[in-house]
Amino acid sequence: MENLIGLLVAAPLLGAAVLLCGGKRLDRAGHWLGTALAAASFVIGVVLFADMLGRDGEERALHSHVFSWIPVEGFQADVAFQLDQLSMTFVLLISGVGTLIHLYSVGYMEHDARRRRFFGYLNLFLAAMLLLVLADNYLLLYAGWEGVGLASYLLIGFWQHKPSAATAAKKAFIVNRVGDMGLSIAIMLMFTTFGTFAFEPVLAGAGETSEGMLTAIGLMLLLAACGKSAQVPLQSWLGDAMEGPTPVSALIHAATMVTAGVYLITRSGAVFNGAPDAQLVVTIVGAVTLIFGAIVGCAKDDIKKALAGSTMSQIGYMVLAAGLGPIGYVFAIMHLVTHGFFKAGLFLGAGSVMHGMNDEVDMRKYGGLRKYMPVTFVTFGLGYLAIIGFPGLSGFWSKDKIIEAAFAKGGTEGWILGGVALLGAAITAYYMTRVMLMTFFGEPRWKRDASGAVAGASPQRPDVEPVAENAADADTAHPATGAAAEPHPHESPKSMTIPMIVLAFGSVFAGGLFSLNSSFVHWLEPVTGHDHGHSPLSAAAVTSATVVVLLTGVALAWAQYGRRPVPVLAPRGSLLTRAARRDLLQDDFNHVALVKPGEYLTRGLVYVDAKAVDGAVNGTAAAFGGLSGRMRKVQNGFVRSYAVSMFGGTAVLIAATLLMRAV
Amino acid sequence: MSHVATVHSLWTISADAPAAILAPDIEYMQLLPVLIVIGAAVVGIMLEAFLPRRARYYAQVMLTLVALAASFAAVVGLAASGHATEKAQIAGMGALAVDGPALFLQGTIALVAIVSVLTFAERRLDPAAHGNRVDSFAAQGAATPGGVAEQQAVKAGFTTTEVFPILLFAVAGMLVFPAANDLLTLFIALEVFSLPLYVLCALARRQRLLSQEAALKYFLLGAFSSAFLLFGVALLYGYAGTVTYGGIAEVVSGDLQRVDPAVAATMGNDALLLIGGALVIMGLLFKVGAVPFHMWTPDVYQGAPTPVTGFMAAATKVAAFGALLRLLYVVLPGLRWDWRPVMWGVVIVTMLVGAIVAVTQTDVKRLLAYSSVAHAGFILAGVIATTPSGISSVLFYLLAYSFVTLGAFAVVTLVRDAGGEATHLSKWVGLGRRSPLVAAVFAVFLLAFAGIPLTSGFAGKFAVFKAAAEGGAGTLVVVGVAASAIAAFFYIRVIVLMFWNEPKPEGPTVAVPSALTSTAIAIGVVVTVVLGVAPQYFLDLAGQAGVFVR
């Protein structure tokens, strides 16, 4: 069985190699090859899962040593895998959702000339992500971590002909470098502290290590998690990452890769358990992000960006839970899995809508689509109910548990965190209802009027300041769009709807299944540990509060977007709305705080380089050149001069020798 | 009968008569490397006299190659039977040392000579003259350049096949030079290899006036330096009463037991020792091309036929450094504190002048000449380390450097225009676009000269500088590295010229050589890369060879 673990990674890796190196010959069948290998990985995962269920809780972990990567005295890096319940959960999620999204992409990318390459990158991502969760040491995890970063970069910028996509890819990569730096520093700290970076000795040794060191390691790990999981303050890349094809957003930037930070924190539980300060910072980051992302999600008119804000917020929940320690680890992972289902489903639904709407992403130009896309509507609707935590659906079970756990933290902290989590639930209900209403209900806002232009249809430009957008529309956009065809919304092909349906099942039932007899808690407990904590509120009270805030959020949204028609052009909005449209000024902040000083530093360095360094170098070169020109004049071609030189040289030689003796 | 007995008794009763004439005891087997080469040289002269003109070329090339290969085999045989280590000894009545450094250098010289012969024998590069394939050498050395006799000689298809025996004589002298164990043998070996080189330098087929001028300059300055050296020998004899290295060393160190009354008056006069030592060292520094005795190198390197330049630049350096090593380590170690500061100065000046003046050179051969001056400085830094690792690092450097040099000059013979070799750097512009292989090979040699890792130049320079630093000459290493940086500039500049500039429309062509030059260049590249990638075996070999017999 151990030998199968390597195959989990090897299958998609093989796919990536074949598809990326295979050339045009594979254009016709490449996507099916990629999908088949992803499915193969999933099948192997299921086999290993069945095998794992056959053993008792404590003996479920499997280890597989593949080869010694860097065998040096005092520094042992192995390519070795560890498959325990935590990894198993991720393997099934990654390969399962991954396979569905491969399938979906077959339809979605049908008309793209570079589809084979797209599947190559997707397979590369799967391989790297599986490596990340299967590694049995931090160094190999780091390799996977960088691998998913690379795949993410390649896929965000997949439509590289669009400058916005290329910029977004670079942005994601660069912001992630900051987080990656944290991970590499954490690994170095581990190595100096424990002399190794394998999970087992590090986590076992955490108990006997000073709290200061654990806090340092924990904060560095948190920095890494912030980068990969788009948590404040490294969250700015996720919104732009929506430039990638929608299946990518669904797989990488919703279901799997962005949750790697939660995996990292949960996996390093022993480190954080010994460092309460680091844990506190983790919960703060999670709480801030969950509100931050939710507010951003409320203001966006671009359906994918609204969902991206939601992703940020939901991962905030997971990070918050992970920061709670043993009370929260299990629920962080549980929410991660249910979120993987419903968020992937929501993104695929959004992709399906865009597919039917000429790639329009502005929800203000949707409306009333439920009649035209019934399957999309139902699956998206189930995902919607799941994410807002409608009682009985997946999101309800997992989110409710996190809110409970936040209260169970105890003390003032518990109250604050629990309150924030509740507030987040209300905002989640608000913005998701808004998305639902703007897209599927109300009057269609995409129809042309008699003049052939209208309904304010403009080329998609969701991020432009609304006022500016109006001006631009008035001057230039209208004549141009007059020629654009009116969209003909239609249901997507089977290859796209089937994955959506499957994911909808997950959105509905996964949470309940996990909560049945606390099965998920029992499943993960041997790895992460579990603690009930002491909640000041009863479970029933928390659940009731959750339902109440959820209904409040839904009602507010309905009052704003259900009862009244949605304006096609975004109103100017309050200060907060405008800030939220600009992602709460995160880019502006980064620009002022980081980019500008960086530019000045660069300019200064270039100046120093040009003047001082180059000056010194060129000056030295010129000096030697001049010296050389002078010295070669001695070489005048006359033997007599040469002879004099030899004679003089000899005289000096003798004189110096005698002088040495005299001295 | 009786008068015979009387005579006999006269002999026996004569008190001061020589006791007996002892036949010299010569260890022929141990001198075999030298004897083979000298014998072959004599045979080669005979061939010139008796063989028909047509047959001479092939006979000479074969004879020379076989003789050199046999000489090399003899060296290897001697080394394998332990003569480099535990059986090292003084042979030939005290004239020659057969020990590790001697055998290592003799082997190197034999190999260098073999490769040189390949370039000497090349007959494909120059266009055929009147239907005869010709090499780099004048049709008839004695004919006046541009005169009627020369035209007739060219028309008749003459070639100077004498270059092969001449080369063998030079090699014989070079084999003896680093093994010489007394000052007279040293001087004779010097002349034995110098005189043939003067002749070879004068024999260029193209630009004969330049070639003859170079030869004359070389001869005059060589004679001048020989005179200094000989004077130094005389002074040292006056100081020690003997010319053998061991004997002088004994006097220097004060271990002498018995003083010959004939020379007692001058013996032990330190002025004689210091001046004599300085003069002998100067004679050797002239041969290695150290500043300020280097001025002949650019002129001679440029004027001499390029195969000869390659041979000279490689083999002469090996032989001369070998002799210098032996002199400093065997004869004058007791004077270390006298000669080291002076040599420090020489090393620094040599490295800097070689590197700096090369910066403004515009001719490839002159560039390589100044580069050889700079390299002489680098090697000298290892020489004066006065440690065993100093010896072995110098041995390794010489092996590495000689093959890089041979290869580089062999490439120079390939780049030609209507006037023969196109040695002006402006002609090399864009060579990498036209002839990527040739340019790439030359780039490898230049990188090796510059001491870039994975080439033999780096391994050699590293070994030498390491030895110098261990010998307490940290300052030298700093200056050496600085000089290397300056030198890297002009090596890399040639690479930039070749690869990053557009070729000129009327640029030179690259001649397609026969298997001979190709082999020579290939050997150069292989040795350069192998010594660069896996130097350890050869470093160990040089390390084992690094002990002088006394």
The pLDDT of residue A651 is 93
Residue A475's pLDDT is what?
38
Q: How far apart are alpha carbons A299 and A644 in whole angstroms? A: 91
Quick: pLDDT tens for B176-216.
999 999 999 999 999 999 999 999 999 998 889 999 999 99
The answer for residues whose C-beta is within 8 angstroms of residue B325's C-beta and 6 or more apart is B101, B178, B383, B391, B394, B548
Nearest-Cα residue of chain A relative to residue B215: A639
pLDDT in tens, B132-184: 888 889 888 888 888 899 889 888 888 899 999 999 999 999 999 999 999 99
Cα–Cα distance measured from residue A523 to residue A377, given in angstroms and rounded to the nearest whole number: 34
**Are A486 and A447 contacting, i.e. CB atoms less than 8 angstroms apart?**
yes
Q: Report the alpha-carbon angle A293-A295-A297, nearest 5.
A: 70
B475-489 residue pLDDT tens: 999 999 999 999 999
Reply yes or no on whether the pLDDT at B336 is more than 90: no
Angle, CA B59 vertex, CA B58 and CA B60 arms, to 5°: 90
Q: Specify burial of residue B362 (Cβ count, 10 A radius: 0-12, 13-18, 19+).
A: exposed
What is the domain range of residue B536? 32-126+161-544
Name the E strands within B32-121. Answer: 89-91, 96-98
* Residue B6 in domain: no
Look at residue A456 in the predicted model and tell me its pLDDT. Answer: 45
B493/A contact by beta carbon, under 8 A: no
CA distance A93 to A254: 12
DSSP code for B473: -
Model confidence at B17, pLDDT cuts 50, 70, 90, reads: low
- Whether the CB-CB separation of A41 and A127 falls below 8 Å is answered with no
What mean pLDDT, rounded, does chain A reach? 87
Give the per-residue pLDDT at A472.
39
A620 touches chain B (CB under 8 A): no
For residue A396, what are the contacts with CB-CB under 8 A and spacing of at least 6? Answer: A386, A389, A390, A511, A546
Q: Residue B337: exposed, middle, or buried by beta-carbon count in 10 A (0-12, 13-18, 19+)?
A: exposed
- Of A266 and B21, the one with more pLDDT: A266
The rounded distance, in Å, linking the Cα atoms of A69 and A517 is: 43
Beta-carbon contacts of B132 under 8 Å, excluding residues fewer than 6 positions away, are B157, B159
Asked if A315 contacts A257 with a C-beta cutoff of 8 angstroms, the reply is no
**Distance of alpha carbon A217 from alpha carbon A194, whole angstroms:** 12
For residue B216, list chain A residues with Cβ-Cβ distance below 8 A.
639
What's the average model confidence in pLDDT over A17-29? 87
CA distance B272 to B278: 10
State whether B295 and A641 contact (CB < 8 Å): yes
What is the predicted pLDDT for the residue at A449?
A: 60
Distance of alpha carbon A284 from alpha carbon A661, whole angstroms: 79
B345 neighbourhood in chain A, CB within 8 Å: 656
Q: What is the pLDDT of residues A319-344, one digit of tens each?
A: 999 999 898 999 999 999 999 999 99
Span A437-451, mean pLDDT? 79
Q: Does A622 touch chain B (CB under 8 A)?
A: no
Mean pLDDT of chain B: 90
Instruction: Please judge whether A631 and B356 are an interchain contact, meaning their C-beta atoms are less than 8 angstroms apart.
Output: yes
Taking contacts as CB-CB distances below 8 angstroms, the residues of chain B near A660 are 337-338, 341-342
Q: Evaluate whether residue B153 is within a structural domain.
A: no
Residue A663: closest CA among chain B residues belongs to which residue?
Answer: B338
Q: Would you place residue A491 in the very low, low, confident or very high pLDDT band (cuts 50, 70, 90)?
A: confident
Residues near A381 by beta carbon (within 8 Å), at least 6 away in sequence: A436, A440
The verdict on residue B2 lying in a domain is no
Q: For residue A638, which phi and psi values (nearest 5 degrees)?
A: -90, 130
Task: Give the model's pLDDT for residue B15.
Answer: 52
pLDDT, residue B10, reads 47
Q: Which amino acid is at B278?
A: A
* Structural domain contains residue B144: no
Please check whether residue B520 is in contact with residue B314, taking contact to mean a CB–CB distance below 8 angstroms.
no
Give me the pLDDT at residue B235, please: 93
Q: Is B2 on the interface with A (CB under 8 A)?
A: no
Give, for A80, the enclosing helix (H) or strand (E).
strand A75-83
> Residue B404: inside a domain, yes or no?
yes
Amino acid at A149: G
The partner residues of B90 in beta bridges, in order of sequence, read B97
Give A645's contacts in chain B (Cβ within 8 Å): 292-293, 295
Virtual torsion, Cα A574, A577, A582, A586, nearest 10 deg: 100
Min distance A622 CA to chain B CA atoms (Å): 10
**Alpha carbons A566 and A547: distance in angstroms, whole number:** 27
Angle of CA points B158, B163, B165, to nearest 5°: 125
Q: Does A626 touch chain B (CB under 8 A)?
A: no
Q: Strand B509-510 and strand B415-417: pairing?
A: antiparallel
Contact B282 A649 (CB under 8 A): yes
Are the C-beta atoms of residues A148 and A133 closer than 8 Å to each other? no
Q: Given CB atoms, is A54 within the 8 Å cutoff of chain B?
A: no
Q: How confident is the model at residue A61 (pLDDT cuts 50, 70, 90)?
A: confident
**∠ Cα B166 B49 B110 (to 5°):** 25
Q: Total structural domains in chain B? A: 1
Q: Which are the contacts of A29, defined by CB distance < 8 A and separation ≥ 6? A: none
Beta carbons within 10 angstroms of residue A315's beta carbon? 31
**Which one of A617, A618, A620, A624 would you mutate to disrupt binding with B, by most B Cβ within 10 Å of its Cβ?**
A624
Q: How far is CA A660 from CA A377, A537, A593, B269, B362, in A?
A: 100, 96, 66, 16, 40
| Mutation site, A627, A646, A658, interface B, largest B CB count within 10 A | A646
User: Which pLDDT value is given to residue A557?
Assistant: 92
Residue B539 lies in a domain: yes
What gap in Å lies between CA B542 and CA B528, rounded to an integer?
Answer: 16
* Lowest-pLDDT choice from A67-76, B88-97, B150-159: A67-76
Query: A618, A620, A628: best mutation site toward chain B, by most B Cβ within 10 Å?
Result: A628
Q: Which of B275, B278, B356 minimises the CB distance to A628? A: B356
A499-543 residue pLDDT tens: 999 999 999 999 888 888 888 888 888 888 888 877 788 888 989
Chain B neighbors of A629, CB-CB under 8 A: 360
The minimum CA-CA distance between A70 and chain B, rounded to whole Å, is: 22
Q: Is A625 on the interface with B (CB under 8 A)?
A: yes
Q: Name beta bridge partners: A82.
A: A63
φ, ψ for residue A80, nearest 5 deg:
-140, 145
Distance, CA of A152 to CA of A132 (rounded, Å): 14
Interatomic CA distance for residues A187 and B418, integer angstroms:
66
Q: Angle between the A211-228 and A276-299 helix axes, to the nearest 10 degrees?
A: 20
Confidence of residue A452 (pLDDT cuts 50, 70, 90): very low
Structure tokens at B395: 């041995």
Running DSSP on this structure, what letter comes out for residue B510?
E
- The alpha carbon of residue A124 and the mean position of all alpha carbons in its chain are separated, in whole angstroms, by 15
Length of chain A: 663
Q: Stretch A603-630: mean pLDDT, rounded?
A: 89
Alpha-carbon distance values, A167 to A311, A469, A568, A597, B338 (Å): 21, 21, 28, 20, 70
B18 band by pLDDT with thresholds 50, 70 and 90 = low
Instruction: Report if residue B1 sits inside a domain.
Output: no
Provide CB contacts within 8 A for B353, sequence distance 6+.
A631, B291, B294, B373
d(Cα B37, Cα B109) in Å, to the nearest integer?
Answer: 12
A41 — pLDDT class (breaks 50, 70, 90): very high
What is the Cα–Cα distance from A632 to B205, expressed in whole angstroms? Answer: 28
Q: Is the pLDDT of residue B401 over 90?
A: yes
- The conformation of residue B317, written as its DSSP 8-state character, comes to H
- Interchain CB distance below 8 Å, B217 and A641: no
| Percent of chain B surpassing pLDDT 90 | 66
Q: Which of A618, A635, A638, A659 to mutate to test the interface with B (most CBs of B within 10 A)?
A: A635
pLDDT confidence bin for A465, thresholds 50/70/90: very low
Looking at the predicted structure, is the pLDDT value of residue B373 above 90? yes
How many CB contacts within 8 angstroms connect chain A with chain B? 88
Predicted confidence (pLDDT) per residue in B236-248, tens digit: 998 888 899 988 8
Asked if residue B10 belongs to a domain, the reply is no
Residues 359-378 of B with CB under 8 A from A: 359-361
Is B275's Cβ below 8 Å from some Cβ in A? yes
Go through chain B and tell me how many residues it has: 550
A329-356 helix and A85-108 helix, angle to the nearest 10 degrees? 0
Q: How far is CA A274 from CA A183, A194, A218, A271, in A?
A: 18, 15, 9, 5
Which of B337, B359, B490 is the mutation pick for testing A, counting most A CBs within 10 A?
B359
Whether A41 contacts A131, CB under 8 Å: no
Residues of B in contact with A650 (CB under 8 A): 228, 278-279, 282
3-class SS at B190?
A: helix
Contact present, A258 and A215 (Cβ < 8 Å): no
Helix (H) or strand (E) holding B455: none
* Tens of pLDDT, residues A163-208: 999 999 999 999 999 999 999 999 999 999 998 889 999 999 888 8
pLDDT at residue B492 tops 60: yes
Q: Residue A481: pLDDT above 50?
A: no
DSSP run (H or E) holding B162: none
In the DSSP assignment, the letter for residue A25 is G
Res B124 pLDDT > 80: yes
Cβ atoms within 10 A of the Cβ of A598, count?
11
Instruction: For residues B330 and B167, give the distance between their C-alpha atoms in angstroms, rounded to a whole number.
Output: 29
Q: Between chains, do A660 and B341 touch, taking CB under 8 Å as contact? A: yes
Given the DSSP bridges, would you call strands B415-417 and B420-421 parallel, antiparallel or unpaired? antiparallel
Nearest to A624 among B216, B337, B486 (CB): B486
DSSP alpha helix (H) spans, A199-275: 199-205, 211-228, 237-240, 246-250, 260-267, 269-273
3-class secondary structure for B378-408? HHHHHHCCCCHHHHHHHHHHHHHHHHHHHHH
The verdict on a CB contact (< 8 Å) between A625 and B277 is no
A79, A140 contact by CB (below 8 A): yes
Query: How would residue A470 be classed by pLDDT, with cut points 50, 70 and 90?
Result: very low
- What pLDDT does residue A453 have? 46
- CA-CA distance, A594 to A171, in Å (whole number)? 13
In this prediction, the answer to ipTM > 0.85 reads yes
